[in-house]
Structure 1
């Protein structure tokens, strides 16, 4: 006989599936391939914050209260980030990838799942320091409109700058991070010129198609929220979006090793999860 706890868990699982299906059918946001453990944890936080007793009640709010929709999107897409996060990754880009990028007359860089823009500005600053900014077009994409708006503003709380600065120095920064922002009213606003060569765009790794011909794609700490099928789909999208010999950077806990795209890339800086595309036919 099934225990009450198991029955309750089963009901919750059904409720969550219905909620995710509603998000897709009604609002065209597809979270159905996201890791269920991550989805459940985040939806529980939102449900408790909004005061809903069950996921069914949250679903009713989603369908009938327009204010709930952006909150669900925000909770399911939120990423904890900071500028030059994992400084050794950016040092590896600077020391190992940039020399290859210098050989191209023009460059395209895609920051996929850019959230509120910390990774984008890190790369823009790095490319400026390495003399590549003016030949580079950056694409910053996310499915969360609020995150894209925050990224486009380039404004961050001043209390975060100390951590950003330390990361920048450890990444091999060739200048002072303070050269790139102004302060006021407890905020740091990054130089608008860092955004002059940036295209901010809504793009879903779940449902949308190939995004240009990129020399570098940086998508860090996004795949960990996807199930295996969606990870394979996303890596295939990256493979198809890169030029031959293009570069892919993933998060420290992410890998292509067991994916369907494993043979399409070779380790380039293995310790930093930086890969290079090997062919166009994987």
Structure 2
């Protein structure tokens, strides 16, 4: 027996999809934030959550606020960017960086590192600790960027929840930590604050991977768990940006669900360093 199609439900779903596209255009035309290259499924989930947070039932009801209430943009962008991380998240990646990549970076007299999509800064401090323990701090410069200004402010503060300490300590040990993680932070009440010395060679800056160009000539670029939210054309664009930003022989680190293999435009410019850890190296003869 053929079940009748619920045309009302289908029409409502179609209207919500149209509303999502209008919302995306409103963000771009009114405020310059371009989410058009983001995966629609993940973006729609976040916009639905945002509409509930603002107390509206339909996606389209967000559009007037987007157009006429610019003071809400900070909150909107903060919600849509979904910054999620941890100190030494995926410790096996940092162990590989410590053992295999840092010795190669040490061959350069000056080391520029671009941490793209730095979120709340956990990876910034993890990388600063790694450089300190490799004796490379004074030769290094970390550029930590994000398009979410609220996240950048949080990252610069370096304040995290103390209840995450067991996870942080375990990650640090598994990443090959050479001392005590407590050497790099101090606690007060339910918070921990990373030591300000770790920011000695760090610059935080606004940069939008969707619309902006080359940020710096880098020897190492880390951009983990950002590309998973992008459509393939936008992934290709960003990966080309990274390839153009790296020095010959420079390293690129992606997230554990991200790969270069689907991007034919840049894949042949890199050689694989570690498949498990998603670490690549720009070929010295890359065009």
SS of residue matched to 1:125 = helix
In 2, Cα distance between equivalents of 1:279 and 1:211: 20
Match 1:274 to one of 266, 270, 279: 279
SS of residue matched to 2:70 = coil
Q: Which moved more, 1:65-74 or 1:146-155?
A: 65-74
Cα offset for 1:6? 2.1
Checking the alignment, whether the CA contact within 8 Å between 1:240 and 1:280 is kept in structure 2 is no
Match 1:181 to one of 174, 182, 185: 185
Match 1:248 to one of 249, 252, 258: 252
SS of residue matched to 1:169 = helix
Checking the alignment, whether the CA contact within 8 Å between 2:248 and 2:286 is kept in structure 1 is no
Match 1:264 to one of 258, 269, 287: 269
Which residue of structure 1 lines up, in the alignment, with residue 211 of structure 2? 207
Quick check: 1:158 aligned with 2:147?
A: no
Q: TM-score, normalised on structure 1?
A: 0.97
Number of aligned positions between the proteins? 282
In 2, Cα distance between equivalents of 1:70 and 1:195: 25
SS of residue matched to 2:56 = coil
Unaligned 5+ segments in structure 1 are none
In 2, Cα distance between equivalents of 1:5 and 1:257: 39
Checking the alignment, whether the CA contact within 8 Å between 1:111 and 1:217 is kept in structure 2 is yes
Quick check: 1:9 aligned with 2:8?
A: no
1:117-168 deviation line (CA, Å, top 9, x unaligned): 0011100001101111111000000000000000001111111122111101
Checking the alignment, whether the CA contact within 8 Å between 2:120 and 2:151 is kept in structure 1 is yes
In 1, Cα distance between equivalents of 2:9 and 2:99: 53
Aligned pairs for 1:113-262 within 5 A: 113-259=117-263, 260-262=265-267
CA shift in 2, pair 1:236/1:281, >3 Å: same
Which residue of structure 2 lines up, in the alignment, with residue 59 of structure 1? 63
Unaligned 5+ segments in structure 2 are none
Which residue of structure 2 lines up, in the alignment, with residue 43 of structure 1? 47
SS of residue matched to 2:240 = helix
In 2, Cα distance between equivalents of 1:183 and 1:133: 24
Q: Which moved more, 1:68-77 or 1:216-225?
A: 68-77
Measured on the aligned residues, the alpha-carbon RMSD in Å equals 1.2
Q: TM-score, normalised on structure 2?
A: 0.95
SS of residue matched to 2:209 = coil
